[in-house]
Structure 1
Amino acid sequence: MDASPDLPRQGRVPVFNLPGIVTASIAVIAGIHVVRSVLPDSFDLSVLLDLAFIPARWTASLDPSRAADIVRAAGEAAGDPAISAARQEFARYLVSDPSAMPWTFVSYALLHGSWMHLIFNSVWLAAFGAPVARRYGALRYGLLALAGIVAGAGLHLVLDPESAMPLVGASAGISALMAAAARFVFQPPPPFAAAAPWHLPPRPPLQTIPELLQNRTAMLFLGVLLGTNLLFGLLALPLGGSEGPIAWDAHLGGFVAGFFLLPLMEPRGRR
């Protein structure tokens, strides 16, 4: 006589075991890049101008008297005279009729500079967005990523207000998810005695900052993440398949938002 419990039959094991919201996030940014790749260059340029975050546009909108400084800074950013002249012409276009375009604080994350940029971000989103989505659900996952995206654009504006370079990519939101995941994934599961083989252990609590400082694995991960962004950003080197230097300040803004806002996402009984 078979004494095993009558469990429901298991369905097929999925090839990609990602939460639906993470899969949908990757599908959206990939779909947008596919559409941009088939658009005529003039239309794609319009999309970039309407959706990318450009600090100089915000600065000129809030303080028109800084228009000359923005144009001068655009010329100083390039050593080649032809590139310098082209960048100054673009800066003049931006300041000639400045508009803040508040939606660009979010919409820039939907665009990517190249296929390598998109693939790199998708890999990190799958790796660190998945544990956050599994623990907190789609809504909190989305709010945390959104907070990181806005915080990244905000810090980029504060630290580089005269930049006429368009900011694109979901990296700030992904940095928020990476910082959030680091607060609970790098720790052993709590003690658990299963009453039955199919019982799952409880979710580990969030580590406090003092506890995190004593977690060598977490601190090594956070140190490498922050150090890499700062090093490549300050040396103006490309990273992650981007065609230009990374906006390290946007990454840092997203990271700080994800790290400190995550406790607010905890259900009230677990805070």
Structure 2
Amino acid sequence: MTEPSGQPGEDQRQPIFNLPGSITVLIGVLWAVHVAASLALDQYGLGNLRIWFGFIPDRFVAASQWPGGAWPLLWSGFTHAFLHVDYTHLIFNSAWLAIFGTPVARRYGAGGLLIVFLLGALAGALVQAAVTVLIVPQFAVLIGASGGVSALTGAAMRFIFEPVVVGRHPETGEIVPLGRRTASLGGVFANGRTRTFILFWMGINVVIGLAPMVTGSNIAIAWEAHIGGFVLGLLLPSLLDARRRR
């Protein structure tokens, strides 16, 4: 005889990965784009895909030398986040997205997740352009979700290490958790755990930026985009909290 729901014997196994639907969909889109491009395009086609949808700072100063001129700058600040160099690059960004995108999605919903991810990608691209065009002129093509993922990491830093706010249930009077408070920008650096994480994260990216000069490696990691996205992510929860209250 079948036992009633909730009784002993019922299969109450939980999924190994309990990700919000918006995170699952976003990761699925990243994988779908990469797999489809890898299967459908040869090296020439992949090159054209990156020229048209990757972010190329050189378009700001030499647009006439590129297909489409300056027009791709209108969309490539966002679309570069959906392209990846290889599966290792994609796996790393997917894992980081799952870890730090999940608390942002649960707090602000799918809309808030996309706002942080896309604006972070744009901020990362603009910082990359500022560095590679104005400060240390060099050629670069930016692809990858790192700027958007870094923004989600920065946004999460505003609340994941903060204390839980509690209140009374209006009907039962029980004490119930209401969620973690959002720290002020000053409060972020007053919190020891948050400060340690940010300093470690920034330090890693500075090392990444200096490594090619020391080792002579040709591997380029867009540390500028990481920092640009992260800083914007730190700022956005103030706006998202105001949006949520409205």
TM-score band w.r.t. shorter chain: 0.7 to 0.9
The one-letter code of the counterpart of 1:146 is L
**Equivalent residue in structure 2 for 1:150, among 94, 118, 122:** 122
Is the contact between residue 101 and residue 113 of structure 2 (CA under 8 Å) also seen in structure 1? Answer: yes
- 1:107 aligned residue: 79
Q: By percentage of residues, which structure has more strand? A: 2
Aligned length, in residue pairs: 228
The 2-side partners of 1:269 and 1:57 are apart by 37
Q: Give the match for residue 29 of structure 1.
A: 30
Q: What are structure 2's unaligned runs of at least 5 residues? A: 1-5
Matched, 1:212 2:213: no
Shift of 1:188: 3.0
CA distance in 1, matches of 2:244, 2:203: 35
Equivalent position of 2:132 in the other structure: 160
**In structure 2, what is the equivalent of residue 263 of structure 1?**
238
Give secondary structure in 2 for the equivalent of 1:53.
coil
C-alpha displacement at 1:46, in angstroms? 1.5
| Partner Cα separation in structure 2 for residue 268 and residue 49 of structure 1 | 36
The TM-score, its normalising length taken from structure 1, stands at 0.75
Kindly provide the CA deviation profile for residues 49-106 of structure 1, in whole angstroms up to 9, marking residues without a partner as x.
1111111122213xx7xxxxxxxxxxxxxxxxxxxxxxxxxxxxx4587434121111
Q: Is the Cα–Cα contact under 8 Å of residues 236 and 246 in structure 1 kept in the other structure?
A: no
Provide structure 1 residue ranges, at least 5 long, that are not aligned to the other structure: 1-5, 65-93, 238-242
Question: Is 2:178 aligned against 1:202?
Answer: yes
After superposition, give the CA deviation of every residue in 1:224-246 in whole Å (9 maximum; x if it has no partner). 11111111112238xxxxx8221
Shift of residue 190, structure 1, vs aligned partner: 3.0
Aligned pairs for 1:39-58 within 5 A: 39-58=41-60
TM-score by length of 2: 0.82
- How far apart are 1:216 and its partner, in Å? 1.0
Which residue number in structure 2 is paired with residue 82 of structure 1?
A: none
Contact 2:168 2:175 in 1 (8 A): no
Partner of 1:60: 62
- Aligned AA for 2:146? S
| Secondary structure in 2 matching 1:17 | coil
Distance 1:232-1:99 versus aligned 2 partners, 3 A rule: same
Aligned-residue sequence identity (percent) comes to: 37
**Which of residues 207, 214, 224 is equivalent to 1:249?**
224
Output the aligned Cα RMSD: 2.9
Counterpart in the other structure of 1:225: 201
